[in-house]
Structure 1
Amino acid sequence: MSDSKMKLPVQLFSFLNHHPIPTTLLIALTWINFFAGGPGAVLVEIAIDLFGVYPPDSHNPATLSPISITAFSSAVSKTALLFSTTSMVAGVSNLLWVPLAVKYGRRVVYTSSFLVFGLCCIWSARATSYGSLLASRIIAAWFSGSAECVAPMTIADIFFLHERGKMTAMYSAALSTGAAFGLLISGIMSISQNWRMFHYLCAALILATTVLIFFTMPETAYQRDVGRTDEVTDQKISNVAEVEHIEVSNTPKKSFTQRMAFNRAPLTHESIWKIAFRPVIILFLPPVLWSTVSFGIGIGIFVVLGTTAATAFSQVYDFTVWQLGLVWIAGIVGNLLGIPFGGYFSDWVANRATSKNGGVREPEMRLPAVSIAMITYPGSLLLYGLGINYKAHWMVPTLGIFLFSFGSSAAIGITVVYTIDCYRPIAGEVVVSQVVFKSFITFLMSFYANPWVDRDGYAGAFGAMAGFSFVVLALWVPLYIWGKQIRHATLKGRVMRYVHWDLDRETGE
């Protein structure tokens, strides 16, 4: 292996080793979808346990009757709701978590929500009925969702503009890798353990992370000094990183005990209701709407891959549950390899454009990096759908999973950091808008995935997804050309007065 190839993993490890806050944050993000999507590999086993139905089996004639087949299909659909509702609730919960984090701080939200999240996993493991398991997973998802939106706020708190690309890429990779990692682990555990042990594992990992959060994640938000911010803003400094440096350097340092304390005073004078309502209006801003749809189809299609792979690989390739789990190694590797393209590469693209622009940075300067995902998205979906449809070697759809994971990790990182760059002072509300509404997209896609495949086949369903994803991602081109004009024009509307933020949230960018 060449020195250049060895350099990136070493740099990444060194970075995480010297930055405990983002390291803990990435660990916490991983468990969200680890819990939400991980049991998907044992979906059939959960259906058998809770409903007492069995899949059609030529060795068991009783399972081949129309009544038995219908009962099994209904049980699978209900069991799938355990995963699709979890993803949706985790997103919607941020309508509460982000206003609390903006008003009262990140630390108290992280610590309290993950504690309840871990306890609910124990409830899930001990649930004896479908209703109890569904309720436990919904409540757990409500508390787990806090990190999904508060994490980008923390990234914006502690990293300069030119550093956010790689961190946001790690953020998106952690979310996607969590699902793939969960599918892998639950598949392997199925060899000797039942689905309940997976939930006990989730509880142990999440409660351990809660302890890690308590001791390694201080409060990253602080009360803005409006007078000082105005003074810095009035200085005509073209380099945004320099403005940030001035603001940060003027902030008095705190002791370890002070940094680990929970905030008592509000961090902003804005009404919590205004903060909660703002994400609804923000969605109508073109950059946010495009990023939300891109985010939604990225996570949504990944969930569809997870729900369809369980039946596709078992029926077409005779894979057992643990073999299906191993398939998701491709998803993990793809997500990890997508980090440098969504982070380092997009930062390099933006920095290069900034140099050519006389040192003045515009958010749209990182958008050309989306072109990589614009190719891998449709290509990977065609490999997956056509590969299964024509019963090609199992490596073909597995390669599709790898390429989609790679493109998804890169695209989500780029689109999220683009909107954070556009509307930095209200980064929390921006990401809430994205996460909440992408959750509805994800839910609808996962809910209708199996009926869609049954109607149009794998080739038709995934061919349509390939075409749609290409069109959505290709919209980076008009945004790159007219994005600045669109941003300024859309903020001038009468309704958009609810989007504007108070001076105590200004950052100098």
Structure 2
Amino acid sequence: MGLGILEDKHLEHVPGTSIFSDDPNAAAQAAYEGIDLSLLKHGTGKNAHVVLVPQPSDDPNDPLNWPQWKKHMVFFVLVYGTVICGALGPLVSADIVGLAVEFNVSIQAMSRALGSALVAALAVATVIWTAISIKIGKRPVFLISTIIMMVGSVMSAYSKNYNTLLGSRIIQGAGQSVLEFLVGASINDIYFTHERGIPVAAWNLALLNGINITPPIAGQVIQHLGWRWTFKIFAIANAILFVLQFFCMPETTFLRSEPELLGGSGNSKENQDTSSFEKHGDSKLESSQPVYRRKTYSQDLAIWNGIYPTQASFLKLLWRPIESIASPIVLWAGLIYGVAITWLVLLATSVSQIFSAPPYNFDSGQVGLTYMGPFIGAALAALISGPLTDFLARYLSARNKGTFEPEFRLPLVIFYAIFGSMAFFGWGISANVQDPWIGPVIFFALANFGITLGASGSIAYVVDAHRRSAEIAMGGVILFKNIFSVIITLFINDWLVARGVLSAFCTVGGVILFTTLLTIPMYIYGKRARSWIHRSMKLDNDE
């Protein structure tokens, strides 16, 4: 037993467990166990001593072989799209009360249109887009989804009745889902493992602050131009995103085979059918090493690159994110990450109702400004989560005689348990006694601080525990989060009205304490859970 983690009785080497090392080649040692690392490709310049993970092919069109400026250009577009993704949910949350009055519906009905419908569409679309992106690549999926989101935004801007607004949010959710789940996979496509630290941190920060910085800006737009202009501006932002995606973001999906990479030359038959090299000369040359030609810029702009071969059928690909929810680790992460993000939706819904009513009587612009606290809280948490996670891994691995267990990521959830529960209890009490506005805003910031740290720990654990099926596992976590969000947002406002702010948010604080306490058995039995997942679920089967 290592630091309270129960050993597995079935596997000698449980996936995820590894020897911890500050050596930059520790990842390569784990990925290419039993292989002489000197035979593998290394980085260049100051990274000449680093073994590249994953190993790139010899094809210059392999995204891993792209020049750094091209990788960074693609990453900039991905980050811009992530901000767009985060902004869509709370786009008009500062004026939910005014919208309900204008469309002559209850606040609960308006919440369903702005929140529940969006998230429900996002949940269903995530499963469908995941399978489609594996079969036809990421580029066409990004482009089509951006057009869909833009069309939905234009519909919202010119909606004349409640049903049109509801339908437009469903369309927006179908488009938004791609920017929520496919960006991380694209980052993995273009960057080596040793290059991903800053891009992943920047991506997470872009998503969180896309959510938190939108209400202050949108609040000012609503106050001076009206709520319809928020959707018009958002549609323009989508048009800019489409142009950037079309001209600056080539296809990042690329098939490469292990025999080719470890052998140093040659291609498998599968790669011969799908890569972009051409052979020239006589039969003698053709039987030796292939000659690759770099794609031209116009060839990079191709939207259709064919259908990628996979061992799994399309229906199987559709089922995998749903199947992954049966993983104990995915289920636990869904309860931590999914429930936490849903509570942010609850907070955002209540902010407008509380601050637009007496004694605050805030207008939409002032309501939007209350989100500056959460913006700062989330930013601080995002900045310290990476170093804190690395410190915990290093410290606990040293205590465990140099062996790293993914469960060493879980202590980060303690901060969520403390700050999250404190924030929701405090928000409920402060809003109930109608403290000066600074009181509820501080608790709003604390909630975002704690939730960001808890989400970072849970996501890091899922990725470490499902090393070879991280994208499928994360798809399951996001799916669980969206399903839970749909259920909660369907009755959030009625619940607030019926139970009152104090009772509702104290209940949330209690739920946070309960779900975070589940981290204790997850820590103790996590290694056995990883063994069971590997033996029974086989999520890491090659596609």
Same fold (TM > 0.5): yes
Alignment of 1:408-487 (within 5 A): 408-487=451-530
Report the counterpart of residue 292 of structure 1 in structure 2. Answer: 334
**Which of 339, 362, 369 in structure 2 is aligned with 1:319?**
362
Note if contact 2:322-2:479 (Cα within 8 Å) is conserved in structure 1: no
| Alpha-carbon separation, structure 1, partners of 2:256 and 2:518 | 36
Q: Which deviations, in whole Å up to 9, do the C-alpha atoms of 1:319-376 show, x marking residues without a partner?
A: 2221111101112222211212333322343345456667664432322222222211
Gap change, CA 1:221 and 1:350, over 3 Å in 2: farther
Identity %: 26
Report the counterpart of residue 137 of structure 1 in structure 2. Answer: 169
SS of residue matched to 1:38: coil
**Which of 192, 198, 218 in structure 1 is aligned with 2:224?**
192
**Which of 391, 413, 416 in structure 2 is aligned with 1:370?**
413
Note if contact 2:94-2:352 (Cα within 8 Å) is conserved in structure 1: yes
Report the counterpart of residue 220 of structure 1 in structure 2. Answer: 252
Report the counterpart of residue 78 of structure 2 in structure 1. Answer: 25
Alpha-carbon offset, residue 444 of structure 1: 2.1
Structure 2 residue 231 is the aligned partner of structure 1 residue 178: no
Report the counterpart of residue 275 of structure 1 in structure 2. Answer: 317
Alpha-carbon offset, residue 154 of structure 1: 2.2
Note if contact 2:90-2:215 (Cα within 8 Å) is conserved in structure 1: yes
Report the counterpart of residue 396 of structure 1 in structure 2. Answer: 439
| Alpha-carbon separation, structure 2, partners of 1:264 and 1:352 | 48
Report the counterpart of residue 60 of structure 1 in structure 2. Answer: none
**Which of 14, 31, 40 in structure 1 is aligned with 2:93?**
40
Report the counterpart of residue 111 of structure 2 in structure 1. Answer: 80
| Alpha-carbon separation, structure 2, partners of 1:211 and 1:362 | 44
Gap change, CA 1:323 and 1:22, over 3 Å in 2: same
Report the counterpart of residue 246 of structure 1 in structure 2. Answer: none
| Alpha-carbon separation, structure 2, partners of 1:229 and 1:369 | 37
Report the counterpart of residue 344 of structure 2 in structure 1. Answer: 302
SS of residue matched to 2:223: coil
The 10-residue stretch of structure 1 (345-354 or 407-416) with the greater mean CA deviation from structure 2: 345-354
SS of residue matched to 1:154: helix
Note if contact 1:286-1:486 (Cα within 8 Å) is conserved in structure 2: yes
Note if contact 1:153-1:427 (Cα within 8 Å) is conserved in structure 2: no
SS of residue matched to 1:317: coil
| Alpha-carbon separation, structure 2, partners of 1:26 and 1:307 | 26
The 10-residue stretch of structure 1 (338-347 or 109-118) with the greater mean CA deviation from structure 2: 338-347
The 10-residue stretch of structure 1 (76-85 or 15-24) with the greater mean CA deviation from structure 2: 15-24
The 10-residue stretch of structure 1 (86-95 or 163-172) with the greater mean CA deviation from structure 2: 163-172
Note if contact 2:79-2:206 (Cα within 8 Å) is conserved in structure 1: yes
Give the counterpart letter for 1:44 in structure 2: V
| Alpha-carbon separation, structure 2, partners of 1:112 and 1:327 | 35
| Alpha-carbon separation, structure 1, partners of 2:198 and 2:391 | 10
| Alpha-carbon separation, structure 2, partners of 1:16 and 1:381 | 44
Note if contact 2:111-2:493 (Cα within 8 Å) is conserved in structure 1: no
Note if contact 1:110-1:146 (Cα within 8 Å) is conserved in structure 2: yes
SS of residue matched to 2:434: coil
Alpha-carbon offset, residue 297 of structure 1: 1.5
| Alpha-carbon separation, structure 2, partners of 1:133 and 1:396 | 34
| Alpha-carbon separation, structure 2, partners of 1:323 and 1:491 | 51
Q: Which deviations, in whole Å up to 9, do the C-alpha atoms of 1:138-185 show, x marking residues without a partner?
A: 112101111111122223334455665665554444333223222222
Alignment of 1:5-20 (within 5 A): 19-20=72-73
Gap change, CA 1:358 and 1:20, over 3 Å in 2: farther
Gap change, CA 1:404 and 1:121, over 3 Å in 2: same
User: What is the count of residue pairs matched by the alignment?
Assistant: 446
TM-score of the superposition, structure 2-length normalised?
A: 0.75
| Alpha-carbon separation, structure 2, partners of 1:20 and 1:364 | 35
Report the counterpart of residue 264 of structure 1 in structure 2. Answer: 306
Structure 2 residue 374 is the aligned partner of structure 1 residue 328: no
Note if contact 2:152-2:171 (Cα within 8 Å) is conserved in structure 1: yes
Gap change, CA 1:193 and 1:230, over 3 Å in 2: same
Alpha-carbon offset, residue 24 of structure 1: 2.2
SS of residue matched to 2:491: helix
Gap change, CA 1:27 and 1:230, over 3 Å in 2: same
Note if contact 2:71-2:190 (Cα within 8 Å) is conserved in structure 1: no
Give the counterpart letter for 2:125 in structure 1: S
Report the counterpart of residue 158 of structure 2 in structure 1. Answer: 126
Alpha-carbon offset, residue 231 of structure 1: 7.6
| Alpha-carbon separation, structure 2, partners of 1:356 and 1:230 | 35
Alpha-carbon offset, residue 478 of structure 1: 3.0
| Alpha-carbon separation, structure 2, partners of 1:255 and 1:347 | 39
Note if contact 1:331-1:402 (Cα within 8 Å) is conserved in structure 2: yes
SS of residue matched to 2:160: coil
The 10-residue stretch of structure 1 (296-305 or 266-275) with the greater mean CA deviation from structure 2: 266-275
TM-score of the superposition, structure 1-length normalised?
A: 0.80
Alpha-carbon offset, residue 107 of structure 1: 2.0
SS of residue matched to 1:222: coil
The 10-residue stretch of structure 1 (175-184 or 293-302) with the greater mean CA deviation from structure 2: 175-184
Note if contact 1:93-1:145 (Cα within 8 Å) is conserved in structure 2: yes
**Which of 475, 491, 501 in structure 1 is aligned with 2:541?**
501
Note if contact 2:223-2:363 (Cα within 8 Å) is conserved in structure 1: no
Note if contact 2:201-2:382 (Cα within 8 Å) is conserved in structure 1: yes
Give the counterpart letter for 1:43 in structure 2: I
Report the counterpart of residue 71 of structure 1 in structure 2. Answer: none
Note if contact 1:294-1:473 (Cα within 8 Å) is conserved in structure 2: yes
Gap change, CA 1:229 and 1:83, over 3 Å in 2: farther
Gap change, CA 1:340 and 1:231, over 3 Å in 2: farther
Gap change, CA 1:455 and 1:126, over 3 Å in 2: closer
| Alpha-carbon separation, structure 1, partners of 2:485 and 2:511 | 15
Note if contact 2:107-2:493 (Cα within 8 Å) is conserved in structure 1: no
Gap change, CA 1:490 and 1:273, over 3 Å in 2: same
Note if contact 1:165-1:346 (Cα within 8 Å) is conserved in structure 2: no
Gap change, CA 1:216 and 1:478, over 3 Å in 2: farther
The 10-residue stretch of structure 1 (36-45 or 361-370) with the greater mean CA deviation from structure 2: 361-370
Q: Which deviations, in whole Å up to 9, do the C-alpha atoms of 1:380-432 show, x marking residues without a partner?
A: 11221110011112111101111111222222233223212222333332222
Note if contact 1:93-1:142 (Cα within 8 Å) is conserved in structure 2: yes
Note if contact 1:383-1:400 (Cα within 8 Å) is conserved in structure 2: yes
Give the counterpart letter for 2:72 in structure 1: H
